[in-house]
Structures are given as structure tokens and as C-alpha cells.
Amino acid sequence: GAGVSQSPRYKVAKRGQDVALRCDPISGHVSLFWYQQALGQGPEFLTYFQNEAQLDKSGLPSDRFFAERPEGSVSTLKIQRTQQEDSAVYLCASSSTGGDYEQYFGPGTRLTVT
């Protein structure tokens, strides 16, 4: 079946612009995670949804970051007034809760803020 998809794959934004990154999880997966991966680093947790409920947003670095999953499927990560330090790859992962807790990752969106 189809895996996790993310769009766009690449995004260049000028400092101060707002961006929206989309994640389509595997069909039926109730859990959805967003991670940020800076160059040369491991992914770092941003936020977590269980269906449409955002259960953990402790990793969001500032109030410029906002995520939603209104219908419990597709999720959008929005970054307002982008800064250069926001440049990173943003990874989305989904998983089920039926015993197989493996997180399946999408290809990521590479954001470059100029």
C-alpha cells in the first residue's frame, strides 16, 4: 500500500514568509508525528497527534510553529514569519496503535529559508 507522503519535497522561503507543509499518513494510522532534522543531526520531535487531537506539542520550538490535523488524517505544519534557523528537513511519521508501534516515515520536506 501507499506509504507516508509529504509535500512539497522542497521549499525555499524568504525570511519572514509563512509556509505550510503537508503530510498524508498511511491510511488508517491514528498516530501522526512531526520531527525536525537539522543538517548533520538526528530528527527531533516537534508534535504528536492521536486522530485529530494534538496530544503533545512540547517540541515546537516557538509559537511561530503550529500544527493541525482537523479530520484525523492529513496534517499540516505551519511556520509563520520564517527565520533562517528554521531551515531543516521536516519529517512526518505515522503509526497504528494495534501493537505494531513502528513509525513509518515520509520522505520529508526540505525547507530553506533565505
Partner 1 sequence: AQKVTQAQTEISVVEKEDVTLDCVYETRDTTYYLFWYKQPPSGELVFLIRRNSFDEQNEISGRYSWNFQKSTSSFNFTITASQVVDSAVYFCALSGSPGLKRNTPLVFGKGTRLSVIA
Q: Where do contacts with partner 1 occur on this chain (CB under 8 A)?
A: 30-31, 33, 35, 40-45, 48, 50, 55-56, 59, 89, 91, 93, 95, 97, 101-108, 110
- Closest separation in Å from C-beta 65 to partner 1: 15
Q: Which residue, 40 or 70, is less far from partner 1 as judged by CB?
A: 40
Quick check: 102 and 88 in contact, CB under 8 A?
no
- Closest separation in Å from C-beta 37 to partner 1: 8
Q: Which residue, 66 or 104, is less far from partner 1 as judged by CB?
A: 104
Q: Which residues contact 42 (CB under 8 A, 6 or more apart)?
A: none
Q: Which residue, 17 or 56, is less far from partner 1 as judged by CB?
A: 56
- φ, ψ for residue 84, nearest 5 deg: -60, -35
- DSSP H stretches of helix in 1-114: none
